[in-house]
Amino acid sequence: MKITWFGHSAFRLDFAGKAVLIDPFFTGNPAFTTDRAAAVDGVTHILVTHGHGDHVGDTVAIAKETGAKVVTNYDLCMYLASQGVQNFDPMNTGGTIDAGGFQVSLVRADHSAGLVEAGVGFPLGSPNGIVVRAAGEPTVYHMGDTDIFGDMALIHEIYAPKIGLVPIGDRFTMGAASAALACRRFFQFETVIPCHYGSFGIIDPNAEKFVAAMAGSATKVVVPEKGVAVGV
């Protein structure tokens, strides 16, 4: 498997002939520096953790361009369908689907979820983390936007993820110390990749505090260059 980070919480997973985008926030993302055409080339699926604009991002446009299947919670799926997405697979917290060659599970996240249009805010289901499992590949857990919570221990027990995509930027998610505590206490990750930092000025500008907080852990911390695939 190859994992590419595009800044903020946007990732691409390439494995077994699949190209999966998670939270493809490209347009308006100050940290997105990759060629957009390359980022979406061959995309087969788009997974969205929750309904905030910095995670839904370019989902509708990419789905229309590529025909990629969109997977997210039911409420958000129905909203995206109303925006023109035709290929979608709704689910909800605790559920697992067969996405065709791999499984997607939605798990709990402690956050909010909704959009604002014409000055009116409306909810779009629950915030989630996403677990991706495929035969012969390491299980990946994208935490979405979340605080630390004790039931992360159950997520580890049920899914045993080996790769963690972990928000660390503080203010809207865990900060470095809480994120490192979550990784150390509740999981046995082989590799963690920090995210949700370095994009907007009101969140942490870099991953240095998280890297320091993970020092001495058996878990490998990878801070990738944006747009450059990392093998895991």
Amino acid letter, residue 15 = F
**Distance from C-alpha of 20 to C-alpha of 24, rounded to nearest angstrom:** 10
The predicted structure's pLDDT at residue 117: 83
The predicted structure's pLDDT at residue 186: 98
- The pair of structure tokens assigned to 31 is 């940290």
What does the DSSP 8-state code read for residue 79? H
The predicted structure's pLDDT at residue 119: 87
Mean pLDDT by 10 residues, the chain (232 residues): 98 98 98 96 98 97 98 98 97 98 98 90 95 98 98 98 98 98 98 98 98 98 97 96
| Burial environment of residue 162 by CB neighbours within 10 A (0 to 12, 13 to 18, 19 or more) | middle
The predicted structure's pLDDT at residue 110: 98
Buried/exposed code over 197-207 (b: 16+ C-beta within 10 A; e: otherwise): bbbbeebbeeb
| Burial environment of residue 98 by CB neighbours within 10 A (0 to 12, 13 to 18, 19 or more) | exposed
| Among 103, 212, 109, residue whose Cα is nearest residue 167 | 109
The predicted structure's pLDDT at residue 118: 81
Helix residue ranges, H only, 21-134:
36-40, 53-56, 59-66, 74-82
Q: Is the pTM of this model over 0.85?
A: yes
| Among 186, 187, 135, residue whose Cα is nearest residue 162 | 187
